[in-house]
A and B are shown apart, each in its own frame.
Chain A
């Protein structure tokens, strides 16, 4: 009896202990903590993205189930000069606007980091463009740049500088300048406030030490502020580039891609082809064509964001 009972008891024991082990396994537990976030990301990000890419390989139209057409949509786009114009526009828009946002944002951050009267109020004011809904500010710009009622044209005429209204949104060059200006106006607060937060983490005694070491104000910036700010610059500019590249609202409210597609970005062109014209497959292909560009931007920031050697912890190697 005894030698039969013993082997029976054993598997029960080990089964129980395996379950207990699993319960106390950090990785197993960690997996379950991750599940909600993972489910959220998969359901709302990865799945729609996959669906979008799938759509770009079909000839789906509104109201008609599409068929798989392999890379036909992309082949069409390859020969589509408007698509290439929108790629050019997007790159131009992103680089020029981001450069201005960085320069102006850094300048404002440095300015607001100085001691000055009404500092708190000025800091709050800088945030205003950020809190106004994009479409509302775009509508305001639309009026500011209106061909007939533009306040800029009106003012310049009254000053006697011009005799005729400037056709801000009707001229290809002016239209590009105007949308970039509006984007910069809207994007500067984010850059400025984030960089200001970064500036405030720099200990004032570093500037005092550098001043005693003989640094001028420029050298203080060049050798102390800028290098200490680079990690934050990398983060903020990555976000800024991503947001600018995928911009839609501002353009759509101001120019709808016109005049003569001069301000059509990839996002607006995709919307126009997919929703307005109903060519869902082609629109999805344009959207998917943004992915390599965005990946490239993320790669750049990935290397820019890597912890620099001086940021590493107190290891002794």
Chain B
């Protein structure tokens, strides 16, 4: 186990720069998730960490050692690939023991460590099978087994769950998290799925267009997104955004589309009349007499909660209620955002305005 430091790392393919100076400190034993839309550079960064891509500038260190010019096999890392990359001509046991075999470990040693890893991952009955004879979830576990057999400094995961069906994905998510809690190996995990990021990470790094938008614990990112991108990316259903202006005359309010008045707890100093984006999470709406007028479009009950799509000032918003309101499409209701939980972003830069 060891810490990882990524300092001002850049990556160019020819003249095209895909990473514009990324700095990420990763503590020993931390589970860090790199999340972002496709093309944001997260996988490239992971491959640079693994040594499969060169580092154009900046440094990456594992432990105290700068690994920019260290061969992948010398970095003491293990990676789980999106397509698992299992060797088709080797059995499960041979797949898992391959790295040890290359290091000239004794047959006893290989056997012992493969067996231990197989027990951890419940693969013991499958050790003599070939990858073709395994289900998706089993292949996924073999890929993880191959990583843990080596007992590396750092685990790297490159979208490991995206080839699985939805139900299995949820189960494997828990399994990976449990594995990390047991082994406590520093882990860097790449995904484009914000739910995976939220549920698994100690620390989430949100990336977008080759830069880090924000880093923090899942709840920090959820409660206090630094900018509109992070606010919209984290959370499902996504945060509602309404464009308008801040108004301060006695009491701070937000004038939304078509003059809709929305409550603000406080307005940032000197923001009167500034164009801004009002962000409110779906679950932070309540039904209240002093709320903004809304017309219900669609009601989607999921059992535990109900998603309600409605029009506020002509813009569609989504609200989530745990209570079972009796709504019908076309109903007029009054939706009130909780002013202490709303987010305010600068319209031009997307930066967070309120504290």
- A and B part of one assembly: yes
Q: Is B321 an interface residue (CB 8 A)?
A: no
Residue of B at shortest CB range from A315?
B133
Q: Which residues of A contact B150 (CB under 8 A)?
A: 213
Q: Are A210 and B83 in contact (CB under 8 A)?
A: no
Partner of A208, one of B52, B90, B102: B52
State which residues 22-63 of B face A: CB under 8 Å: 50-52
Given contacts A209-B79, A212-B77, A215-B102, contact A224 B87 (CB under 8 A): yes
Give the total number of A-B pairs whose CB atoms are below 8 A apart: 69
Segment at the B interface, from A150-158, A180-188, A306-314: A306-314
- 8 Å CB interface, B77-101 against A: 77-79, 81, 83, 85, 87-90, 98-99
Contact A211–B72 (Cβ < 8 Å): yes
Does B72 lie within 8 Å of A310, measured CB to CB? Answer: no
Q: Report B-chain residues with C-beta under 8 Å of the C-beta of A214.
A: 73, 99, 102-103
Is A164 in the interface zone, CB < 8 Å from B?
no
Counting CB contacts under 8 A, is A162 at the interface? no
For the complex, what is the distance from the CA of A228 to the CA of B89, rounded to whole Å? 7
Instruction: Tell me if A227 counts as interface (CB < 8 A to partner B).
Output: yes
Determine the distance from Cα of A203 to Cα of B88 in the docked complex, in whole angstroms: 10
Across the interface, A314 reaches (CB within 8 A) one of B50, B52, B90, B132, namely B132
Residues of A with C-beta under 8 A to B102: 213-215, 219, 223
Residues of chain B contacted by A206 (CB below 8 angstroms)? 85, 87
Nearest to B83 among chain A residues (CB) is A205
CA A313 – CA B89 in complex, angstroms? 13
A227 lies within 8 A of B89 (CB): yes
Contact A316 B85 (CB under 8 A): no
Query: In the bound complex, what is the Cα–Cα distance between A224 and B90 (angstroms)?
Result: 10
Chain B positions within 8 Å of A311 at CB level: 88, 132
**Contact (Cβ within 8 A) A203 B83:** yes
| Contact A205 B103, CB 8 Å, known A309-B130, A314-B133 | no
Q: List residues of chain B with CB within 8 A of the CB of A215.
A: 73, 102
A212 touches B132 (CB 8 A): no
A contact residues around B88 at 8 Å (CB)? 228, 310-311
In the complex, the chain B residue whose C-beta lies closest to that of A313 is: B132
In the complex, what residue of chain A is closest to B77 when comparing beta carbons? A212
Binary CB contact string for chain A from 185 to 222 against chain B (1 if under 8 A, 0 otherwise):
00000000000000000010110111111110001000
- A311 vs B72: C-alpha distance in the bound complex, in angstroms? 30
CB within 8 A of A312: which of B52, B73, B98, B132? B132
Q: Which of A208, A215, A312, A316 has the most CB of B within 10 A?
A: A208
- Say whether chain A's binding surface is mostly helix, strand, loop, or mixed: helix
Which B residues are in CB contact (< 8 Å) with A219?
Answer: 102
Closest B residue, CB atoms, query A316: B133
Q: A213, B99: Cβ atoms under 8 Å?
A: yes
- The answer to whether B132 and A209 have CB atoms under 8 Å apart is no
Q: Contact: A213 with B98, CB < 8 Å?
A: yes
A211-B52 in contact (CB<8A): yes
A210 neighbours in B (Cβ, 8 Å): 87, 98
- Which single member of A212, A227, A316 contacts B78 (CB below 8 Å)? A212
B78 surroundings in chain A (CB, below 8 A): 212
Contact B85 A203 (CB under 8 A): yes
Minimum Cβ distance to chain B for residue A162 (Å): 48
Task: Name the contact of A209 in the complex, choosing from B77, B85, B89, B133 (C-beta under 8 A).
Answer: B85
Q: Is the beta-carbon distance between A212 and B79 smaller than 8 angstroms?
A: yes
**Complex Cα gap A224–B85 (Å):** 11
Least Cβ distance of A12 to chain B in Å? 54
Q: Which residue of B51, B90, B103 contacts A310 across the interface (Cβ within 8 Å)?
A: B90
Min CB distance B78 to A, Å, is: 7
Inter-subunit contact B89/A212 (CB<8 Å): no
Instruction: Report the Cα distance A50→B7, complex, angstroms.
Output: 78
Q: Do residues A209 and B130 form an inter-chain contact, with CB atoms below 8 A?
A: no
Q: How far is the CA of A315 from the CA of B213 in the complex (A)?
A: 47
Which chain A residue has the least Cβ–Cβ distance from B78?
A212
Are B133 and A211 neighbours in the complex by a CB distance under 8 Å?
Answer: no
For the complex, give the distance between the alpha carbons of A210 and B90 in Å: 12
Could you give, for residues 266-309 of chain B, a 1 whenever the CB lies within 8 Å of some chain A CB and a 0 otherwise? 00000000000000000000000000000000000000000000
Closest CB-CB distance, B129 to chain A, in whole Å?
A: 8
A210 vs B72: C-alpha distance in the bound complex, in angstroms? 10
Bound CA span A214–B132, Å: 24
Whether the pair B133, A212 counts as a contact (CB closer than 8 A) is no
Looking at B52, B89, B146, the one whose CB has the most chain A CB atoms below 10 A away is B89
How far apart are the CA atoms of A203 and B133 in the complex, in Å? 19
- Cα A223 to Cα B90 with chains together (Å): 10
Chain B residues contacting A309 (CB-CB under 8 Å) are 130
User: Which chain A positions have C-beta within 8 A of B77?
Assistant: 212
Contacts A223-B98, A224-B87 given; indicate if A212 touches B50 (C-beta within 8 A).
yes
Complex CA gap A167/B256 in Å reads 98
- For the complex of A and B, the 9 pairs showing the least CB-CB separation, nearest first, are A213-B99, A209-B85, A214-B73, A205-B85, A310-B130, A214-B102, A310-B89, A227-B89, A205-B81
Give me 24 A-to-B residue pairs in the complex whose CB atoms sit less than 8 angstroms apart, sorted by A's number.
A203-B83, A205-B81, A206-B85, A208-B52, A208-B81, A209-B79, A210-B98, A212-B50, A212-B52, A212-B73, A212-B78, A212-B99, A213-B98, A213-B99, A213-B146, A219-B102, A228-B88, A228-B89, A308-B89, A310-B89, A310-B132, A311-B88, A312-B132, A314-B132
| Besides A209-B81, A219-B102, 15 new A-B residue pairs in contact (Cβ under 8 A), listed by A number | A203-B85, A205-B81, A208-B81, A208-B85, A210-B98, A211-B52, A211-B73, A212-B72, A213-B98, A213-B99, A213-B150, A214-B73, A223-B87, A310-B132, A314-B132
